[in-house]
Structure 1
Protein backbone atom coordinates (compact mmCIF):
# COMPACT_ATOMS: atom_id res chain seq x y z
CA UNK A 1 0.00 0.00 0.00
CA UNK A 2 1.32 3.43 -0.88
CA UNK A 3 0.19 6.97 -0.14
CA UNK A 4 -1.75 7.36 -3.40
CA UNK A 5 -3.74 4.15 -2.95
CA UNK A 6 -4.32 4.89 0.75
CA UNK A 7 -5.69 8.33 -0.11
CA UNK A 8 -8.04 6.83 -2.72
CA UNK A 9 -9.40 4.28 -0.23
CA UNK A 10 -9.85 6.92 2.47
CA UNK A 11 -11.62 9.20 -0.02
CA UNK A 12 -14.16 6.49 -0.79
CA UNK A 13 -14.72 5.73 2.89
CA UNK A 14 -15.02 9.47 3.56
CA UNK A 15 -18.42 9.54 1.86
CA UNK A 16 -21.10 8.74 4.49
CA UNK A 17 -23.20 6.51 2.25
CA UNK A 18 -20.27 4.54 0.84
CA UNK A 19 -19.03 4.09 4.41
CA UNK A 20 -22.49 2.76 5.31
CA UNK A 21 -22.27 0.25 2.43
CA UNK A 22 -18.87 -0.91 3.68
CA UNK A 23 -20.19 -1.15 7.25
CA UNK A 24 -23.04 -3.43 6.19
CA UNK A 25 -20.65 -5.60 4.19
CA UNK A 26 -18.32 -5.78 7.19
CA UNK A 27 -21.22 -6.74 9.45
CA UNK A 28 -22.27 -9.68 7.26
CA UNK A 29 -18.74 -11.07 7.19
CA UNK A 30 -16.96 -13.27 4.69
CA UNK A 31 -20.11 -14.86 3.28
CA UNK A 32 -21.04 -11.50 1.81
CA UNK A 33 -24.43 -10.42 0.57
CA UNK A 34 -26.06 -10.05 -2.84
CA UNK A 35 -26.52 -6.62 -4.35
CA UNK A 36 -30.31 -7.05 -4.07
CA UNK A 37 -30.12 -7.90 -0.37
CA UNK A 38 -27.75 -4.99 0.21
CA UNK A 39 -30.12 -2.62 -1.61
CA UNK A 40 -33.02 -3.82 0.55
CA UNK A 41 -31.04 -3.37 3.78
CA UNK A 42 -29.87 0.10 2.88
CA UNK A 43 -33.18 1.14 1.31
CA UNK A 44 -31.55 3.00 -1.57
CA UNK A 45 -32.08 2.99 -5.33
CA UNK A 46 -30.29 0.30 -7.28
CA UNK A 47 -28.53 2.82 -9.54
CA UNK A 48 -27.20 4.72 -6.51
CA UNK A 49 -25.98 1.52 -4.88
CA UNK A 50 -24.37 0.44 -8.14
CA UNK A 51 -22.44 3.71 -8.23
CA UNK A 52 -21.29 3.33 -4.61
CA UNK A 53 -20.22 -0.27 -5.18
CA UNK A 54 -18.39 0.63 -8.37
CA UNK A 55 -16.32 3.18 -6.42
CA UNK A 56 -15.58 0.71 -3.61
CA UNK A 57 -14.63 -2.04 -6.09
CA UNK A 58 -12.33 0.39 -7.93
CA UNK A 59 -10.21 0.86 -4.78
CA UNK A 60 -10.39 -2.86 -3.90
CA UNK A 61 -12.52 -2.43 -0.77
CA UNK A 62 -15.24 -4.70 -2.16
CA UNK A 63 -14.93 -7.95 -4.05
CA UNK A 64 -17.82 -8.98 -6.29
CA UNK A 65 -18.54 -12.43 -7.68
CA UNK A 66 -21.33 -13.49 -9.99
CA UNK A 67 -23.69 -16.21 -8.77
CA UNK A 68 -26.09 -16.97 -11.57
CA UNK A 69 -28.14 -13.79 -12.01
CA UNK A 70 -26.96 -12.30 -8.71
CA UNK A 71 -23.78 -10.53 -7.73
CA UNK A 72 -22.37 -11.23 -4.28
CA UNK A 73 -20.38 -8.51 -2.53
CA UNK A 74 -17.80 -9.12 0.19
CA UNK A 75 -15.77 -6.55 2.13
CA UNK A 76 -12.07 -6.82 1.33
CA UNK A 77 -10.56 -6.71 4.80
CA UNK A 78 -7.03 -7.02 3.42
CA UNK A 79 -7.27 -3.63 1.70
CA UNK A 80 -8.95 -2.05 4.71
CA UNK A 81 -6.25 -3.35 7.05
CA UNK A 82 -3.46 -2.33 4.66
CA UNK A 83 -4.59 1.29 4.68
CA UNK A 84 -4.49 1.52 8.44
CA UNK A 85 -1.17 -0.32 8.63
CA UNK A 86 0.20 2.19 6.14
CA UNK A 87 -1.07 5.10 8.24
CA UNK A 88 0.36 3.67 11.46
CA UNK A 89 3.72 3.02 9.80
CA UNK A 90 4.08 6.22 7.82
CA UNK A 91 2.35 9.00 9.67
CA UNK A 92 4.70 9.48 12.59
CA UNK A 93 4.43 8.25 16.09
CA UNK A 94 1.03 8.53 17.67
CA UNK A 95 1.11 9.87 21.23
CA UNK A 96 0.21 7.40 23.95
CA UNK A 97 -2.49 9.76 25.23
CA UNK A 98 -4.26 12.73 23.76
Structure 2
Protein backbone atom coordinates (compact mmCIF):
# COMPACT_ATOMS: atom_id res chain seq x y z
CA UNK A 1 0.00 0.00 0.00
CA UNK A 2 1.25 3.44 -0.88
CA UNK A 3 1.09 6.42 1.49
CA UNK A 4 -1.76 8.25 -0.35
CA UNK A 5 -3.94 5.13 -0.21
CA UNK A 6 -3.21 4.67 3.49
CA UNK A 7 -4.03 8.31 4.18
CA UNK A 8 -7.36 7.94 2.35
CA UNK A 9 -8.25 4.83 4.38
CA UNK A 10 -7.25 6.41 7.68
CA UNK A 11 -9.15 9.58 6.79
CA UNK A 12 -12.23 7.51 6.04
CA UNK A 13 -12.00 5.89 9.46
CA UNK A 14 -11.39 9.22 11.22
CA UNK A 15 -15.11 9.83 11.74
CA UNK A 16 -17.18 8.28 14.50
CA UNK A 17 -20.03 7.01 12.34
CA UNK A 18 -17.76 5.65 9.61
CA UNK A 19 -15.60 3.87 12.16
CA UNK A 20 -18.74 2.41 13.75
CA UNK A 21 -19.99 1.23 10.34
CA UNK A 22 -16.64 -0.35 9.50
CA UNK A 23 -16.40 -2.15 12.85
CA UNK A 24 -20.01 -3.36 12.51
CA UNK A 25 -19.28 -4.77 9.05
CA UNK A 26 -16.08 -6.45 10.26
CA UNK A 27 -18.13 -8.18 12.97
CA UNK A 28 -20.86 -9.10 10.46
CA UNK A 29 -18.41 -11.15 8.42
CA UNK A 30 -18.51 -12.00 4.75
CA UNK A 31 -22.32 -12.14 4.67
CA UNK A 32 -22.47 -8.41 5.37
CA UNK A 33 -25.54 -6.36 6.20
CA UNK A 34 -28.17 -4.43 4.24
CA UNK A 35 -27.94 -0.65 4.37
CA UNK A 36 -31.15 -0.30 6.41
CA UNK A 37 -29.83 -2.53 9.16
CA UNK A 38 -26.52 -0.65 9.21
CA UNK A 39 -28.39 2.65 9.58
CA UNK A 40 -30.44 1.29 12.49
CA UNK A 41 -27.43 -0.24 14.25
CA UNK A 42 -25.25 2.86 13.92
CA UNK A 43 -28.10 5.32 14.45
CA UNK A 44 -27.75 7.46 11.33
CA UNK A 45 -30.25 8.58 8.72
CA UNK A 46 -30.18 6.61 5.46
CA UNK A 47 -29.05 9.58 3.33
CA UNK A 48 -26.21 10.32 5.76
CA UNK A 49 -25.26 6.64 5.81
CA UNK A 50 -25.05 6.64 2.02
CA UNK A 51 -22.34 9.29 2.14
CA UNK A 52 -20.40 7.36 4.79
CA UNK A 53 -20.65 4.11 2.80
CA UNK A 54 -19.40 5.85 -0.34
CA UNK A 55 -16.36 7.24 1.49
CA UNK A 56 -15.54 3.83 3.01
CA UNK A 57 -15.96 2.17 -0.38
CA UNK A 58 -13.64 4.63 -2.13
CA UNK A 59 -11.07 3.91 0.58
CA UNK A 60 -11.29 0.15 -0.22
CA UNK A 61 -12.51 -0.64 3.29
CA UNK A 62 -15.97 -1.97 2.36
CA UNK A 63 -17.64 -3.64 -0.61
CA UNK A 64 -21.20 -3.74 -1.80
CA UNK A 65 -23.27 -6.20 -3.77
CA UNK A 66 -26.84 -6.24 -4.91
CA UNK A 67 -29.15 -8.93 -3.53
CA UNK A 68 -32.53 -8.50 -5.16
CA UNK A 69 -33.72 -5.02 -4.21
CA UNK A 70 -31.24 -4.68 -1.34
CA UNK A 71 -27.65 -3.57 -1.35
CA UNK A 72 -25.53 -5.63 1.02
CA UNK A 73 -22.35 -4.13 2.44
CA UNK A 74 -19.43 -6.06 3.87
CA UNK A 75 -15.95 -5.28 5.07
CA UNK A 76 -13.23 -5.45 2.43
CA UNK A 77 -10.86 -7.71 4.35
CA UNK A 78 -8.13 -7.39 1.72
CA UNK A 79 -8.21 -3.61 2.10
CA UNK A 80 -8.20 -3.94 5.88
CA UNK A 81 -5.22 -6.33 5.79
CA UNK A 82 -3.35 -4.00 3.45
CA UNK A 83 -3.91 -1.06 5.78
CA UNK A 84 -2.86 -3.02 8.86
CA UNK A 85 0.24 -4.30 7.06
CA UNK A 86 1.12 -0.74 6.05
CA UNK A 87 0.73 0.47 9.63
CA UNK A 88 3.01 -2.19 11.09
CA UNK A 89 5.47 -2.57 8.21
CA UNK A 90 8.23 -0.76 10.09
CA UNK A 91 7.18 -1.95 13.52
CA UNK A 92 9.56 -3.19 16.14
CA UNK A 93 12.88 -2.21 14.54
CA UNK A 94 13.97 -5.84 14.64
CA UNK A 95 12.69 -6.33 18.20
CA UNK A 96 9.58 -8.54 17.95
CA UNK A 97 8.89 -8.35 21.70
CA UNK A 98 7.77 -4.75 21.16
CA UNK A 99 4.94 -5.74 18.83
CA UNK A 100 4.15 -9.17 20.31
CA UNK A 101 0.62 -8.39 21.46
CA UNK A 102 -0.05 -6.49 18.25
CA UNK A 103 0.86 -9.56 16.21
CA UNK A 104 -1.47 -11.66 18.37
CA UNK A 105 -4.33 -9.19 17.88
CA UNK A 106 -3.88 -9.22 14.10
CA UNK A 107 -3.61 -13.01 13.87
CA UNK A 108 -7.35 -13.25 13.19
CA UNK A 109 -6.78 -11.38 9.94
CA UNK A 110 -4.19 -13.74 8.46
CA UNK A 111 -5.26 -15.07 5.07
Q: Take 2:15 and 2:64, find their aligned partners in 1: how far apart are those partners?
A: 20
Give the number of aligned pairs.
97
2:60 aligned with 1:70: no
CA-atom RMSD, angstroms?
Answer: 1.8
C-alpha spacing 1:59/1:94, structure 2 compared with 1 (3 Å)? farther
Q: Take 1:94 and 1:45, find their aligned partners in 2: how far apart are those partners?
A: 47
Flag structure 2 segments of 5+ consecutive residues without an equivalent: 100-111
Flag structure 1 segments of 5+ consecutive residues without an equivalent: none
Q: Take 2:51 and 2:86, find their aligned partners in 1: how far apart are those partners?
A: 27
Describe the SS at the equivalent of 1:30. Answer: coil
Using structure 2 for the length normalisation, give the TM-score.
0.79
C-alpha spacing 1:86/1:68, structure 2 compared with 1 (3 Å)? same
Look up the match of 1:46.
46
Q: Take 1:21 and 1:94, find their aligned partners in 2: how far apart are those partners?
A: 35
Describe the SS at the equivalent of 1:44. Answer: coil
Using structure 1 for the length normalisation, give the TM-score.
0.89
1:94, CA displacement in angstroms? 8.1
